[in-house]
Structure 1
Amino acid sequence: MKRNWSQESYIKSYKFAAQAHQGQKMPGSEIPYIMHLSFVSMEVIAALSVEKETDGNLAIQCALLHDSIEDTHTTYEQIKAEFGEAVAKGVLALTKDKNLDKHLQMEDSLQRIKQQPKEIWMVKLADRISNLQAPPHYWNLEKITRYREEGIQIYEALKDASDFLASRLASKIQDYKLFIDQV
């Protein structure tokens, strides 16, 4: 069976991301941050098995690298030199602009993502799918509700990129309501 992505591309990106995020933990846990990137890339790989007309290498590389600029000392220039301009632009679009007020960052990011190929949209869908797990114990009702609403915002903006991922995100958003009801 022919795939639209390569294992070599995955491994190269995974190693780079593991190095960049070394020592970081997933918020509210002792789980290494690389696990989040693995979950996001797994969601993208699952979608690629259904959506064959997609640049799988672009999607997977951006899935593994999507937090590199935002959460590490990695620069756009480093990603461009190592993975090319398309990947660097995708990762930059997926990076929140911390110069903006927090309440404006998601809308700005979504606008920049929408200027990128659909593969970048897929990464954002996969990112929120993987993040809609049980919220950290220290989140209050307002934070949990706002996070779910952001999920809906992402879904509405990017659902056309992937029927598979849009369906997964819609299901996760619905399930996440349980956490609101429990508070």
Structure 2
Amino acid sequence: MTQEIYQEAIKFAAEKHQYQTVPGTESSYLWHISNVAMEIMMAHQIKSNFDLNYAVQLALLHDTLEDTDTEYLELEDKFGVEVAQGVKVLTKNNNLTSKKERMLDSLKRINEMPKEVGAVKLADRITNLQKPPRNWTKEKIQYYWDEAKLINQTLQDKNEYLNKRLDNKIAEYEVYAK
């Protein structure tokens, strides 16, 4: 991976997410996206059977369409069609009415893309399975835990290392869900 690719993507993401914090914390959103990228880099170190440059760009940019004012064409112009399409697939379709529909649609679209896109989804959920925010209800925590299991099962063939990491995080998260 070239440092320039990483630096360009994280600078773009930092500017786009500059006023956003990780839900339930005072931490900059960069904490989340850099952790997703770190999970991808660790997976690549274990087994280098995927395009690290592509996956890291997706990791750093995965929430730009969903959570910022970034436009698809802006991503395409700056990072290319392949990265823009990957980020778009990682973006939930808010035209669907229920959370469950949005997740099932997202997983279906992810499974139609290269394995790097699925690896980023796995890495994203790994980093999100922290102690839940205090304002989350027991039902929301349980739903999030069940959703993590669905993600891991549906994306079972994307990255063995990340699937195992997510399995472990799911097991650790059970204390909050039960």
Say yes or no: TM over 0.5: yes
Alignment partner of 1:77 out of 67, 73, 76: 73
Number of residue pairs the alignment of both structures matches: 177
Alignment partner of 1:7 out of 3, 27, 30: 3
1:75 Cα deviation after fit: 1.1
Return the letter of the residue paired with 1:150: E
Instruction: Spell out, residue by residue over 1:61-118, the C-alpha distance to the aligned partner (whole angstroms, 9 max, x if none).
Output: 0000000000000011111110011100100000001111123100000111111100
Instruction: Spell out, residue by residue over 1:105-150, the C-alpha distance to the aligned partner (whole angstroms, 9 max, x if none).
Output: 0000011111110000000000000000000001111000000000
1:6 Cα deviation after fit: 1.5
| C-alpha separation in 2, matches of 1:172 and 1:37 | 17
| C-alpha separation in 1, matches of 2:161 and 2:26 | 31
Return the letter of the residue paired with 2:133: P
Structure 1: segments with no counterpart, 5+ residues: none
Output aligned runs, 1:25-64, within 5 Å: 25-64=21-60
TM-score of the superposed pair, with normalisation by structure 1: 0.95
Output aligned runs, 1:90-129, within 5 Å: 90-101=86-97, 102-129=99-126
Instruction: Spell out, residue by residue over 1:9-28, the C-alpha distance to the aligned partner (whole angstroms, 9 max, x if none).
Output: 11110000000101111111
Return the letter of the residue paired with 1:175: E
1:180 Cα deviation after fit: 2.2
SS in 1 for 2:9: helix
Structure 2: segments with no counterpart, 5+ residues: none
RMSD: 0.8
Alignment partner of 1:149 out of 146, 149, 174: 146
Where does structure 1 differ by over 6 angstroms across 4 or more consecutive aligned residues?
Answer: none
TM-score of the superposed pair, with normalisation by structure 2: 0.97
| C-alpha separation in 2, matches of 1:120 and 1:145 | 25
40-49 vs 97-106, greater mean Cα deviation: 97-106
| C-alpha separation in 2, matches of 1:125 and 1:53 | 16
